[in-house]
Homo-oligomer: A and B are copies of this chain.
Amino acid sequence: MAILIVGSLAFDDIETPFGSSMNTLGGSSTYIALSASYFSDAIQMVGVVGSDFEESHFKLLHNRNIDTKGVQVVEEGKTFRWAGRYHYDMNTRDTLDTQLNVFADFDPRVPQRYQDTGIVVLGNIDPELQMKVLDQIQKPEMVILDTMNFWIEGKPEALKKTLSRVDVFILNDSEARLLSGDPNLVKSARIIREMGPKTLIIKKGEHGALLFTDNGIFAAPAFPLESIFDPTGAGDTFAGGFIGHLSRCETVNDTELRKAVLYGSAMASFCVEKFGTEKIADLTMLDIEDRYDSFLELSRIEC
């Protein structure tokens, strides 16, 4: 089933205790699309870049069979930029700079041939833009939304309106507490699921992820890595693997949702091993299945 992804394409300046990487290709939809591309060859991106987005950047996406016809190029414009610095323990980071650039006036237009797409992924951007995209799709089978603190605090009403049309909502633990107003994650999940999304995933970084559905709770561990090199994009990469697996399922039930969480976790565990998209642009399905098996082994009690 085709997957339409809207979100940011960006250039990031990243500093970690292990080094720094400047002008690195990034953005929520870049990570989501690259990650999902191992599971589906019908990935469609909707977004906007400036004229500084070079042919080599498009080529990296096209090499993974990602369709970028929905990515508008603004001549004389500059691509969205983000700069951040990670702390010693890699669990926290400071945003040093954000330049919206071409995103400031972005008016998403979904190409006609994308409008009957089955799966719509609303990556982390302004919820009003997410809604504009959704309005252009005819009967999507599944709508997935990711967001962050910035929009929960800045546009809570627009976010809640969009959420009412969402099937799967992905956010992290601090965002869940912020949105629900409750420090307990089980209570938070109940409050958030009442806003619309029947399926909720709360990411907990190095502590894994929790999946909430009508049938109960699934707790996925994170992969215990010896070294985490750069956490940028790990959450989006998780979303890409999660959606990628679901796109190849005949039926989406609890078992497939649980597997999808593990595939997402496996993809995220690769992402943090190198700077930016370096690792997830260059994997094989064998790498991914091996890592998936390691995740299964990690929480297996007996065969």
Does residue A283 face the partner (Cβ distance < 8 Å to B)? no
Does residue A207 face the partner (Cβ distance < 8 Å to B)? yes
Quick check: A219 and B226 within 8 Å, CB to CB? no
Quick check: B216 and A186 within 8 Å, CB to CB? no
Closest chain B residue, CB of each to CB of A215:
B297
Q: CA A299 – CA B224 in complex, angstroms?
A: 16
Residues of B contacting A298 in the complex (Cβ-Cβ under 8 angstroms): 217-219
Stretch from A65-73, A150-158, A234-242, A255-263 at the B interface = A255-263
Quick check: B207 and A207 within 8 Å, CB to CB? yes
Residues of chain A in range 160-193 having any CB-CB distance to chain B below 8 Å: 183-187
Q: CA A301 – CA B218 in complex, angstroms?
A: 9
Beyond A187-B226, A227-B184, whether A301 also contacts B221 by CB under 8 A is no
Quick check: A259 and B204 within 8 Å, CB to CB? no
Quick check: B258 and A301 within 8 Å, CB to CB? yes
Quick check: A208 and B207 within 8 Å, CB to CB? yes
Residues of chain A in range 268-302 having any CB-CB distance to chain B below 8 Å: 296-302
Quick check: B224 and A210 within 8 Å, CB to CB? yes
Does residue A228 face the partner (Cβ distance < 8 Å to B)? yes
Residues of B contacting A54 in the complex (Cβ-Cβ under 8 angstroms): none
Q: CA A301 – CA B300 in complex, angstroms?
A: 9
Quick check: A224 and B228 within 8 Å, CB to CB? no
Residues of B contacting A224 in the complex (Cβ-Cβ under 8 angstroms): 185-186, 210, 217, 219
Q: CA A301 – CA B245 in complex, angstroms?
A: 14
Beyond A299-B220, A301-B255, A301-B262, whether A89 also contacts B183 by CB under 8 A is yes
Does residue A225 face the partner (Cβ distance < 8 Å to B)? yes
Min Cβ gap A205→B in Å is 10
Closest chain B residue, CB of each to CB of A221:
B219
Residues of B contacting A297 in the complex (Cβ-Cβ under 8 angstroms): 216
Q: List 29 A-B contacts (CB under 8 A).
A: A89-B183, A90-B183, A184-B226, A184-B227, A184-B228, A185-B224, A186-B224, A186-B225, A186-B226, A187-B226, A187-B227, A207-B208, A208-B219, A208-B221, A210-B224, A216-B297, A217-B224, A218-B299, A219-B221, A219-B222, A220-B299, A221-B221, A221-B299, A255-B302, A258-B300, A258-B301, A258-B302, A296-B301, A299-B299
User: Using a CB–CB distance below 8 Å, which chain A residues touch chain B?
Assistant: 88-90, 183-187, 204, 207-208, 210, 216-222, 224-228, 255, 258-259, 262, 296-302
Starting from the known contacts A210-B224, A258-B302, 12 additional A-B residue pairs (CB-CB under 8 Å) come to A90-B183, A184-B228, A187-B227, A217-B224, A217-B298, A219-B221, A219-B298, A221-B299, A255-B301, A255-B302, A258-B300, A299-B299
